[in-house]
Structure 1
Amino acid sequence: MWKRKQRPEDTTQGLGNGSVYQLISRFADCLLRQDPSISNLVRPLDRQLIQTLKSILISQTPEQWERSIEKQLGSDRTLVDFVINYLHYIAGVELINEGDTTQTPDLHDANFDLLLNVYNPAANIFRRADAAFFTIPIQLLSHALVNLAITADRSKQSNKNEKAGEAARQMTTTLGISCIDRSPEEPSKRRAAFSLANGLFKIYFFLNNMRLCDTVLKNTSNVIDQLETHYPKSEMVTFYFYLGRLSLYQRRLHEAQHSLRIAFDLCKTESWKNRRLILIYLIAASLPLGILPVQELLVHFSLHEQFGPVVQSLRTGNWPMLAHALDVNMEWFRYRGVYILLREKLEVICWRNFFVIAAGLRNGRRGMRLSSLTCVQIARKIFMEDTIDAQDIESMACSLIDQGYLKAYVKLGEMIVFGPTLPQIRNVGLHLAESHPARPALTHSGITSAPMSAQNSQDMPSKSNTGFSIKGAGKLQDAKRFS
């Protein structure tokens, strides 16, 4: 999702005028002394570094490199294989500019295969007990492996996605090594855990294999308590973004809304594209919970065209208008995997809001009575369907009562009698959410922004033909929702 930014310092410093022998000596010295500065040389997507190393390597043949590497690293075959394969990767890789479609799939496959040959011995180095110094290089190699695998698979017309699957198999082992490290000293292999987890999430979402995402969560369960204190904010944002999307896919809406809200609030304000991407899924998780975005937010992130009509229809309980709003942008919603979710969940909310508006319900009022005949007349006007009858209305009311959206009882053929309390949408089904196995949670004191807002005065819609007043967003946890 987010691209790793290169370090500001020049990683090619001191390399430009060197020889192949000096370059190999630098690799050997860093590896044998277990020097973390090896990460300045192992940057498989750093174009400037790659070009500098290419210019050095062309002065000798690969056979000459290999003899020099074996001479300097001795009998440690793992280190020898790593350096040899990495230099072969540098010499052979041809990085393509993003969006360039002129290159053949064979070139993308070749790039991935070259890096995979590097990753295997690198993972064996990382497996060693004293290899904490290799944490940053394994993160950079894993990040590159994910990108090259997905690029290679996307360049083909096949749906096999073999490269992404192979990358996931390699990285799963590396993630396990990172998460089980018990060394109390820093640097620790555990510092690679969430970088690797985010890479695996990216692959599994690309493969549409959500089942394996739970395996990633299990592997990271013993380091989740350190996420807030020991890991970069960028990794936290990405982790909670994928965690929220996974919960949304599994219809765990409360957990999805919580995780995506954290990701949105922790994401930098200047990262407009990333915040917009998070917000799309945050809105999709929030609408079925009765939490509505303010218009200003939709306009700021250029989402008013897609979500504006949906929100307005949901406020007034107008299902035909809402269904039309979803269908107009069907491909947009389907591409993001939320179309079916919104169709399923928002129809129920529309019917609930229809009864609330028709009966003029407010918390604390005495039980209101709504005659079946009156309800049918209102429903036919709003839903623009002349075939709606009392049986349809009573069946829907019974369904909403059973699900917990209304406190009422139905007197068949006569009326619906509503209780004095109106259940809040966000609390409906909460007991079911709590019964699921616990997911990682983060309480961050710095969360102050509020991407969503709700009714500013009432906990339910008033009986009105106009939209409901929204006066901006306060803190989400303190705001009253459209319940």
Structure 2
Amino acid sequence: MNDYPVGQQVTYRYYVGRYYLYQHQLRKAEKELEFAFRRCTRHHYKNKRHILIHLLTAKLILGYRPTSQLLERYKLVDLFGPLIQAMLSGNVAQYVTALDAHMEWFLRMKSYLLLKERGKVIVWRNLFRKVYLITREPNRNKIRMENCLIALRISTQDPSYDEMDTEALLVTLLDQGYMKGYLHHYQSIAVMSNQRPFPPVASVHVTTEVYDESQNQRDGT
């Protein structure tokens, strides 16, 4: 691949990155898109901006936060700034509002569903981390589900959430590795690990189902 002109390498790695992004293989997508972005010259501003849009989609879900200078340079503050703020604060309603405010644009970029499905998981993680830090008792690594439920209703602005919804979200986060610990159903608490109960998002490797095109091919084709 190194024998080809840089421009062709950038184009190829960009489309490979887009393919991985579509497959939800975010770390592979990040690697390819990072290469394309860094090797694309600054004279091709529009191309670099387009690559960056998809790179940011992968990076946000992987737990990396872009600098404000980068967003300003490529005129992406209005599009990604509110999303990042809501994600960091654990504000689900604000995150959904920010995403839906530019729904047509994100749909056109093929990023909307990925940011809505996978990005919201990060928002939940940050919300429950705040609950843990605020309500934690000295020498007791526990989260009461009733506190999580209150926070969830406030964050989503949806009073219909109940204990079962809260437990399901906690199970999801524990299962995917965004939280470390276990649920005690009868005591309605989550017992958290003494070490890194909320690992950095960038260190979490989520296992997702990979689409296999060969499964859709007919026998003999």
Same fold (TM over 0.5): yes
Query: What corresponds to 2:132 in structure 1?
Result: 359
State the one-letter code of the partner of 2:36. A
How far residue 270 of structure 1 moved from its aligned partner, in angstroms, is 2.4
Query: What corresponds to 1:259 in structure 2?
Result: 32
CA distance in 2, matches of 1:427, 1:394: 24
Instruction: Kindly indicate whether residue 160 of structure 2 is the aligned counterpart of residue 379 of structure 1.
Output: no
Instruction: Kindly indicate whether residue 20 of structure 2 is the aligned counterpart of residue 247 of structure 1.
Output: yes
Query: What corresponds to 1:400 in structure 2?
Result: 173
CA distance in 1, matches of 2:72, 2:140: 40
State the one-letter code of the partner of 1:418. M
Instruction: Kindly indicate whether residue 110 of structure 2 is the aligned counterpart of residue 334 of structure 1.
Output: no
Match of 1:236 among 9, 19, 26: 9
CA distance in 2, matches of 1:305, 1:381: 25
CA RMSD of the aligned region, Å? 2.3
Query: What corresponds to 2:68 in structure 1?
Result: 295
How far residue 387 of structure 1 moved from its aligned partner, in angstroms, is 2.3
How far residue 247 of structure 1 moved from its aligned partner, in angstroms, is 0.7
CA distance in 2, matches of 1:366, 1:266: 50
Match of 2:88 among 308, 312, 315: 315
How far residue 370 of structure 1 moved from its aligned partner, in angstroms, is 1.5
State the one-letter code of the partner of 2:155. I
CA distance in 1, matches of 2:209, 2:184: 32
Q: Relative contact order, CA 8 A, sep 6+: which one is greater?
A: 2
Contact 1:298 1:304 in 2 (8 A): yes
Instruction: Kindly indicate whether residue 192 of structure 2 is the aligned counterpart of residue 418 of structure 1.
Output: yes
Query: What corresponds to 1:285 in structure 2?
Result: 58
Contact 1:252 1:433 in 2 (8 A): no
Residues 385-421 of structure 1: CA distance to partner in whole angstroms, max 9, x if unpaired? 2222322212210111112211111122532111122
SS in 1 for 2:143: strand
Aligned pairs (5 A) from 1:119-268? 227-228=1-2, 230-268=3-41
1:366 and 1:282, CA in 2 relative to 1: closer, same or farther beyond 3 A? farther
State the one-letter code of the partner of 1:406. M
- How many pairs are equivalent? 205
CA distance in 2, matches of 1:430, 1:384: 28
Contact 1:241 1:278 in 2 (8 A): yes
CA distance in 1, matches of 2:206, 2:60: 15
State the one-letter code of the partner of 1:325. A
CA distance in 2, matches of 1:377, 1:387: 11
CA distance in 2, matches of 1:414, 1:333: 38
Contact 2:29 2:58 in 1 (8 A): yes
Answer with 324-333 or 372-381: which moved more.
372-381
Query: What corresponds to 1:85 in structure 2?
Result: none
1:238 and 1:367, CA in 2 relative to 1: closer, same or farther beyond 3 A? farther
How far residue 378 of structure 1 moved from its aligned partner, in angstroms, is 2.2
Residues 12-50 of structure 1: CA distance to partner in whole angstroms, max 9, x if unpaired? xxxxxxxxxxxxxxxxxxxxxxxxxxxxxxxxxxxxxxx
Instruction: Kindly indicate whether residue 143 of structure 2 is the aligned counterpart of residue 390 of structure 1.
Output: no
1:417 and 1:252, CA in 2 relative to 1: closer, same or farther beyond 3 A? same
State the one-letter code of the partner of 2:149. V
SS in 2 for 1:409: strand
CA distance in 2, matches of 1:382, 1:325: 14
CA distance in 1, matches of 2:21, 2:155: 30
> TM-score, with normalisation over the residues of structure 1?
0.40
CA distance in 1, matches of 2:158, 2:175: 25
Instruction: Kindly indicate whether residue 205 of structure 2 is the aligned counterpart of residue 429 of structure 1.
Output: yes
> TM-score, with normalisation over the residues of structure 2?
0.85
Match of 1:324 among 80, 94, 97: 97
Query: What corresponds to 2:217 in structure 1?
Result: none
